Structures are given as structure tokens and as C-alpha cells.
């Protein structure tokens, strides 16, 4: 990491000059406040520079905005299964052919795997392609699936549903894993191959060449006060330039959103659809522990028109451990629905609670997941970059699995990138390489075939029968035709547009948590290890600070205070006693992205906080 040594020396020198400027600036109070005071009646909530540009803020006058730049062959944004698989495959190919390729991977979590959350039941197909000797290498796959159970819950009972051979829910040959531990292991393999891993560095900006192709990324600036002013410790982010930049941010990546717009990547696909997944880890009574058992349910406590369901996995990790969770489709209509409280209520079902009685909850977290399927996958390549993994939405929804497809996309991307990097006769039309072969190869692979075969299952849940209509469709058309039906169903539209006004919906009464099986939100967030530097601008930015009260609260009764699984959004009564204001508790954010997705006004824009902030999951 010699390059980063020179970067740190450069920062230290610049900070000396910066501190002197701040001392001089602070002697002139008028400059500190000029251009900042809000004349609007609405209290200012958002202070982030993406909403309030620094070139219009006098507090930033004279601040050195020069950035240190590094050159690499390939830069990868995101240290999840897709990004790490891409990095590993590039280095494997380089070693096989005796080539020198510099691969840099940036990850916003403080440690590789610390922001990873999934069920997770892993299909090892891509792992076997990447490392045929994964068992000898010590990959943390300790729990082969031994039993599959599926059922429909009513309020008091469970109706068992047989899992026929060939259906997506069959898990024979798969492994129950703690995905964060698996990702950490992938990171160790990548580093051993020579990949430069930079955890704690959040990619905040896409850089472009003059010809419009992607040049690389810039990591986020640090040392900014909550009100948006520079601290004495202000440091400009680092630029990483590359011939190809791979975006592997996971579901609803904030840089991918920008790329969709710039290159019109979603022109020929349907809007993406999402779910919010909430998860807990428990240690339970050993007598109730069934290592290798996989259980899924649909039905209660959700109605038939709200897509969702539960999972309960028995891990074999040296102690009686279970992973359990609940997924709610974010195309739900009732603004009073609270996914976290639905999850807590589900745990009290007569067929679930006995497993947890006498046990102890040890972890909690949440993350959005893609549910759009094949119809919602955007164009994957553009000059200078490409999208892999859950960023474009390669999850197999009825399987509830995306790790194997994400890893395979990373492998295919790297093979196409390597081919171009080592082609001495290549004539590129742009400075940043346009690796169109990646998308062509993905569409020829088993990934595309798999996603095509299940493309109609999720949208079939939008019939009058709801989720049960989807089950009937799966039982008839998928089981008989394996996805070969000559039609492709559509999604009804963007998730945020499905929410109905509060006046048209019935409030939902949720039982109080008992502190033994069900819990309150804040004690749950505490188990996620979430932490952010308090004195920094909130990374949950609002395009218009007035919208939360004037529209979201007035029309939808403030749904953000319910759909957020971390208590970030809170409506506080005004001191005058008339009306409310929105308070954003950004320190609580678990980086699930639900607010950016479900906000009915599309006024919330999630951006990265300072690198290293967020949850600190341990094997979630």
C-alpha cells in the first residue's frame, strides 16, 4: 500500500495550511455565517453539499479542494460477493497469463463484510467455479441443508405446502451461511492474490473523462461539521482512476442511480421493485436446535395483497444458533404498515414462538433487496464501466437467492475486462473501455437462463389473489413449463407510487413488544453496532426540506417513520404546539436504502456518510 503512504503525507502537509486558513477565517464571524442563514419559514434539515453546493457557501472560500489521484487498471466499488469475485477472477487470470494488473477495491464498511446482511442460504455453484478447492481453503460453509419446510400461516395455524422437485424453493445441495463471514473469507482470498482492499473508503462520486466515459471514482471528503462547514481536520477525498470501473454497490447503489440517468441505462427495462429484509440472530435451547433445517412461510401477519414472507434457518456454527427474518415487498399500499413491527409480530405465531422461548437475541439488521427480476435489469455496460451483482438486480426472487448470480456476474465481468486489457490490438472509441462483451456473455450464461425461467413468478402476485395467485402460477406454469411460457408479465410500476393516501387506508394496531420474543426498535438498532461520526452532515439528504411535512405527513401520515427499520425519521411536535417537524437521526442508519426507495415524494436521496460509518455486523 505504498501509494497510500504518499497520500497520507500529502494530506498532512495540506492540513497545516488548511488549519492556518481556518484560524484566519474564524476571526471574521461574518464570513462564517454569510450565505448560510435560511430565510425560509421551513427549518433547514439538509446541510449536505450535494444539496447546498460549497461554491455558493462563503465558509468554503479559500479551502484547498485539490485531490490526490491514484491510477489503477481496474477499480471496483463494493466489497460484497460480486465485487470480491470480480477482483479475485482478475488476479487469477493475471497470474495464469503472467500479466501485471493493478486491481483496487473500495468498501464503505470499516471492515470487509461488516455491512453484509443476507439470510443466507448459499448455492455454491459460483464458488465452485471460482475456487474448486474451497473446502481445502477453509471457506466458512459449515451447514449443509438437511431439511426443507414451507408453509402458509394463518393467525393461529400453519398449513404445510409440499416442495416439489424442480421448484425454486428446493435447497438440496445448498448451505446455510453467515454471509458476512463468507464475504470476509473472500476478502482474505482476494488480498492473498494481490488485490488492494481499502475498507473504510466510501466511493462518493463518479469521475468522467471529457469524452463522457467513466474515469474512476472519488472517495468522500471527511472533516465536515454537521452544519456543512469545514473542520480544521478537513480532508479531501482520494481519486482512483481506472481503465474500467466496476460498480458492485449492492441493492440500490447511490452511484448506480447517477449512472442510470447519465447513460439512460433503464430506457428499455421496467422499474426495479424491492423488498425490505429484516433479520435477527438468536441462540436457542439446544433441544429445539435442528442444524441444517430451512423453513419459509408466507401469509400471516401480512394480507394477501402484500408480498412477503419469513425464513428461519438452523445454523451449525458450534452453538445452537438460528437466523430468522422477515421480508416485506416495498410495493405495499398501506402507509400505516410497519415492516419492523410486522416482523416482531410474526415471531409470536404459535409455530414460531416455541423455537425462540428461552433463547437470546444477539444481533439485528436490515437491508433492501431487489425483487424486479429479469424485467427490471438495466443495460449493464457503458463507456468506462459496468454494473454487477445486486446493483443491477440479478437476484433470483422465488429462490430468495442472489449471491450465486452476483458472484457469477463478477466472474464474467472480469473475464471480459481482462480480454480487453490484454488485447494489444484493441482500438477503443473512448478513453474508458466499453466492455460490452460482459453483458453479451452474461446473457449466454446460466444466470440469464435461470432468471428468465422465473421472470413471471413475482409479478404474478399482483392478481386479485395476491401472493396466493403467485403460488398457483408457480405450481402450474413454472413447474410444468419451467418458464417457457410465451409471455412476460409486467410490474405495476415503481414501489413509491403504490402507496395510497392515509385517508384511504386503515391504521394498523400493533401489539407492544414483550422484551422476550419481540422488542422495540431502538434496542434492536443497538444490536446492529451502527455508529456514525455525529458531527457530520446527515447523509439522508432532502431535495426540499418542506416536503416531509407539507406532503408526506399531510397526505401519507409520514410513512418514513414506519418504513425505516432503524428509527432514522421522526416527526417531532413544534415548540409552539402547532404542527410537527421532521427530525433525521442519521446516526441510526443501517444503510438499508429503504427510504430512498419508498419515499412517496422521491425527495430523499441517500448518499454515503464518512467511510467506516454504518452497521458493524458480525456474520449477518
Q: Which helix (H) or strand (E) holds 254?
A: helix 254-263
DSSP codes, 339-358: HHHHHHHHTTSTTTHHHHTT
Active-site residue, 118 included: yes
Active-site residue, 405 included: no
Strand locations in 161-263 (E): 175-176, 196-199, 203-208, 214-219, 222-224, 230-235, 239-247
CA distance 52 to 48: 6
CA distance 105 to 127: 19
The CA-based angle 476-482-486, given to 5 degrees, is 85
CA distance 101 to 414: 12
Place of cell 443466507: 120
Which residue in 295, 349, 305, 263 sits closest to 463, CA to CA? 305
Instruction: Read off the C-alpha cell for 210.
Output: 471529457
CB 256 within 8 A of CB 387: yes
CA distance 508 to 50: 37
Active-site residue, 355 included: no
CA distance 535 to 223: 9
From 381, 403, 405, 409, active-site residue? 403
Packed helices 403-421 and 436-444: angle between N→C axes, nearest 10 degrees? 140
CA distance 615 to 108: 11
CA distance 193 to 127: 16
Active-site residue, 367 included: yes
Place of cell 457530520: 536
Active-site residue, 589 included: yes
Cα–Cα distance list, 527 to 49, 540, 570 (Å): 31, 21, 20
From 25, 341, 361, 367, active-site residue? 367
CA distance 349 to 154: 9
Active-site residue, 461 included: no
From 85, 116, 118, 273, active-site residue? 118
The SS3 of residue 112 is coil
CB 375 within 8 A of CB 455: yes
Active-site residue, 564 included: yes
The length of the chain in residues reads: 620
User: Mind telling me the catalytic residues?
Assistant: 118, 367, 403, 564, 589, 592, 595
Amino acid at each position: 500500500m505504498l501509494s497510500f503512504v504518499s497520500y497520507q503525507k500529502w494530506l498532512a502537509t495540506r492540513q497545516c495550511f488548511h488549519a492556518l486558513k481556518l484560524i484566519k477565517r474564524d476571526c471574521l464571524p461574518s464570513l462564517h455565517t454569510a450565505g448560510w442563514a435560511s430565510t425560509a419559514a421551513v427549518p433547514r434539515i439538509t446541510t449536505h453539499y450535494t444539496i447546498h453546493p460549497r461554491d455558493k457557501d462563503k465558509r468554503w472560500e479559500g479551502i484547498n479542494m485539490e485531490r490526490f489521484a491514484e491510477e489503477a487498471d481496474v477499480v471496483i466499488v463494493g466489497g460484497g460477493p460480486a465485487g470480491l469475485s470480480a477482483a479475485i477472477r482478475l488476479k487469477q487470470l493475471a497470474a495464469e497469463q503472467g500479466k501485471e494488473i493493478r486491481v483496487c477495491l473500495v468498501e464503505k464498511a470499516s471492515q470487509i463484510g461488516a455491512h453484509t446482511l443476507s439470510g443466507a442460504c448459499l448455492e455454491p455453484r459460483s464458488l465452485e467455479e471460482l475456487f474448486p478447492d474451497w473446502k481445502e481453503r477453509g471457506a466458512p460453509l459449515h451447514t449443509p441443508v438437511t431439511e426443507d419446510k414451507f408453509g402458509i400461516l394463518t393467525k393461529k395455524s400453519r398449513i404445510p405446502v409440499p416442495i416439489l422437485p424442480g421448484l425454486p424453493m428446493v435447497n438440496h445441495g445448498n448451505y446455510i451461511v453467515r454471509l458476512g463471514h463468507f464475504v470476509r473469507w473472500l476478502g482474505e482470498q482476494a488480498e492473498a492474490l494481490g488485490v488492494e482492499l481499502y475498507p473504510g473508503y466510501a466511493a462518493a462520486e463518479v469521475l468522467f473523462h471529457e469524452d463522457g466515459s467513466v474515469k474512476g471514482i472519488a472517495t468522500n471528503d471527511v472533516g465536515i461539521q454537521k452544519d456543512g462547514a469545514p473542520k480544521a481536520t478537513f480532508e479531501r477525498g482520494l481519486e482512483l482512476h481506472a481503465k474500467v470501473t466496476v460498480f458492485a454497490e449492492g441493492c440500490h447503489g447511490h452511484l448506480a442511480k447517477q449512472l442510470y440517468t447519465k447513460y439512460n441505462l433503464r430506457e428499455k427495462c421496467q422499474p426495479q421493485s424491492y423488498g425490505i429484509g429484516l433479520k435477527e440472530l438468536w441462540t436457542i435451547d439446544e433441544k429445539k436446535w435442528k442444524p441444517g433445517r430451512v423453513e419459509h412461510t408466507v401469509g400471516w401477519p401480512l394480507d394477501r395483497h402484500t408480498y412477503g414472507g419469513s425464513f428461519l434457518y438452523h445454523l451449525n456454527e458450534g452453538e445452537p444458533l438460528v437466523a430468522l427474518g422477515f421480508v416485506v415487498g416495498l410495493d405495499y399500499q398501506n402507509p400505516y404498515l410497519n415492516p419492523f413491527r410486522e416482523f416482531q409480530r410474526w415471531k409470536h405465531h404459535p409455530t414460531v414462538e416455541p423455537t425462540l422461548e428461552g433463547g437470546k437475541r444477539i444481533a439485528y439488521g436490515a437491508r433492501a433487496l431487489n425483487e424486479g427480476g429479469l424485467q427490471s435489469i438495466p443495460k449493464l455496460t457503458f463507456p468506462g464501466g459496468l454494473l454487477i451483482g445486486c446493483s443491477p438486480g440479478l437476484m433470483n426472487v422465488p429462490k430468495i437467492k442472489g449471491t450465486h448470480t452476483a458472484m457469477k456476474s463478477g466472474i464474467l465481468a472480469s473475464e471480459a475486462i481482462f480480454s480487453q486489457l490484454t488485447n494489444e490490438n484493441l482500438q477503443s472509441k473512448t478513453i474508458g473501455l466499453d466492455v460490452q462483451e460482459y453483458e453479451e456473455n452474461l446473457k449466454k450464461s446460466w444466470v440469464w437462463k435461470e432468471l428468465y425461467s422465473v421472470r413471471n413468478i413475482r409479478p404474478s402476485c399482483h392478481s386479485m389473489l395476491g401472493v396466493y395467485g403467485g403460488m398457483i402460477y408457480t405450481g402450474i406454469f413454472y413447474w410444468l413449463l419451467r418458464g417457457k411460457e410465451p409471455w412476460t408479465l409486467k410490474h405495476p410500476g415503481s414501489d413509491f407510487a403504490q402507496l395510497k393516501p392515509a385517508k384511504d387506508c386503515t391504521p394498523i394496531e400493533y401489539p407492544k413488544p414483550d422484551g422476550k420474543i419481540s422488542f422495540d426498535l431502538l434496542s434492536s438498532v443497538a444490536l446492529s453496532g451502527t455508529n456514525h461520526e455525529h458531527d457530520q452532515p446527515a447523509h439522508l439528504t432532502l431535495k426540499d426540506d418542506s416536503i416531509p411535512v407539507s406532503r408526506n405527513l399531510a397526505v401519507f401520515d409520514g410513512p418514513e417513520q414506519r418504513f425505516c427499520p432503524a428509527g432514522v425519521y421522526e416527526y417531532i411536535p413544534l415548540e409552539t404546539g402547532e404542527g410537527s417537524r421532521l427530525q433525521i437521526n442519521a446516526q441510526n442508519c443501517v444503510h438499508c436504502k429503504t427510504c430512498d426507495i419508498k419515499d412517496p415524494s422521491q425527495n430523499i436521496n441517500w448518499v454515503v456518510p464518512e467511510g467506516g460509518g454504518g452497521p458493524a455486523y458480525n456474520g449477518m
